[in-house]
Chains A and B, each alone.
Chain A
Amino acid sequence: MIYAVIGLLIGMLLGFVVPWSIPVGYSGLFSVALMASLDTVFGGLKAACNGNFDDRVFITGFFTNALLAAFLVYVGDRLGMDLYYVALLAFGLRIFNNLGAIRHYWLQKH
Chain B
Amino acid sequence: MRIDKGQISIVCVCIVLGFMLAIQFRSTQDTRASLPFQRVEELSARLHQVESENQELEDEIRELKGLSSSEKNDKINDDILMISGMSALEGPGIILTIDDSGKIAKKENDPNLYLVHDEDILKVVNELRAAGAEAISINGQRLTANSEIRCAGPTISVNNVRSAPPFEIRAIGEKENLMNAINMRGGVADSLKVWGIKLNIQPVDNVWIPAYKASSKYKLAVTSNREEESK
Contact = CB atoms under 8 A, between A and B. Distances in A.
Interface of A: 3-16, 18, 20-22, 24, 27, 30-31, 33-34, 37-38, 40-41, 44, 53, 55, 58-59, 62
A33 B17 CA distance: 10
Contacts of A33: 20
5 contacts: A3-B10, A11-B15, A11-B17, A21-B30, A22-B23
B133 to A, nearest CB: 37
Contact of B27 (A6, A13, A22, A62): A22
Contact of A12 (B5, B11, B13, B22): B22
B16 interface: yes
Interface string B181-199: 0000000000000000000
B10 A7 contact: yes
B47 interface: no
Given A11-B18, A37-B16, A55 B5 contact: yes
A49 B158 CA distance: 85
B12 A21 contact: no
Q: Which of B7, B18, B21 has the most CB of A within 10 A?
A: B18
Interface in B1-60: 5-7, 9-28, 30-31
Question: On chain B, which size bracket covers the interface?
Answer: 20 to 34
Closest 7 A-B residue pairs measured CB to CB?
A11-B18, A15-B22, A7-B14, A11-B15, A7-B11, A55-B6, A11-B19
A33 B23 CA distance: 12
Given A10-B15, A15-B18, A24-B31, A4 B24 contact: no
B6 A6 contact: no
Contacts of A15: 18-23, 25-26
Nearest to A11: B18
A59 B9 contact: yes
A46 to B, nearest CB: 14
A52 B9 CA distance: 15
A59 B17 CA distance: 12
B24 A62 contact: no
A11 B14 contact: yes
A37 B24 CA distance: 13
A7 B20 contact: no
Nearest to B11: A7
B13 A34 contact: no
Q: Which of A4, A7, A13, A18 has the most CB of B within 10 A?
A: A7
A25 to B, nearest CB: 11
A4 B6 CA distance: 11
Nearest to B14: A7
B16 to A, nearest CB: 6
Interface in B111-157: none
B17 A41 contact: yes
Contacts of A53: 6
